[in-house]
Amino acid sequence: MTGSGYLISILIMAVVTILLRAIPFLLFGGKRRPPALITHLSSLLPYAVMMMLVVYCLRNISFASAAGFVPELICIVLVVLLHLWKHNIILSIVSGTVVYMLLVQMVFVYPDDSLPGDSGFTFCCSDPVFKGIIGAASFFRRRKMKCSKRSNPSFTG
């Protein structure tokens, strides 16, 4: 495809996107009210999308070993409790994501030759919460030093 072909494709995509966003305002703009079905669906759709995302994220859980589902379970409980306590969706989702990534990167580690769901999980520390947090801090400190050494060969820190 030539440069003008790319430009034409981008323009077509932009026009279609603008039209798709403008159609509801054109149909239901002014004083006309949307049909009851549309109003009802608009109240249910956010919850349906969130449930689809939860099901999608939990579809590959393996109950073959405790380590196959423990990180997910911990994070689900964390997100639910945090949301019930603070009523802040962003805080709940970000906290659950950060804790999950810390758990799977620091606490529950796959050996190089195993796949998720295998019994190849190993625990890299005995007290997951405390040592996971300490391990995360030292991991990021070591990673920062390695990056600094790589980008600056004369780095002596």
Q: Tens-digit pLDDT profile for the chain (157 aa)?
A: 788 999 999 999 999 999 999 988 888 777 778 889 988 998 999 889 888 988 888 888 888 877 788 999 999 999 999 999 999 989 998 999 999 999 988 888 765 544 454 444 444 444 454 455 555 555 555 544 444 444 444 444 4
* Through-space distance between the first and last CA atoms of the chain, rounded to whole angstroms: 49
CA torsion sign for 56, 79, 89, 33 is positive
SS (H, E, C) the chain: CCHHHHHHHHHHHHHHHHHHHHHHHHHHCCCCCCCHHHHHHHHHHHHHHHHHHHHHHCCCCCCCCHHHCHHHHHHHHHHHHHHHHHCCHHHHHHHHHHHHHHHHHHHEECCCCCCCCCCCCEECCCCHHHHHHHHHHHHHHHHHHHHHHHHCCCCCC
Which residue type does 96 have? G
Which residue type does 123 have? F
- Is the pTM of the predicted complex or chain greater than 0.75? no
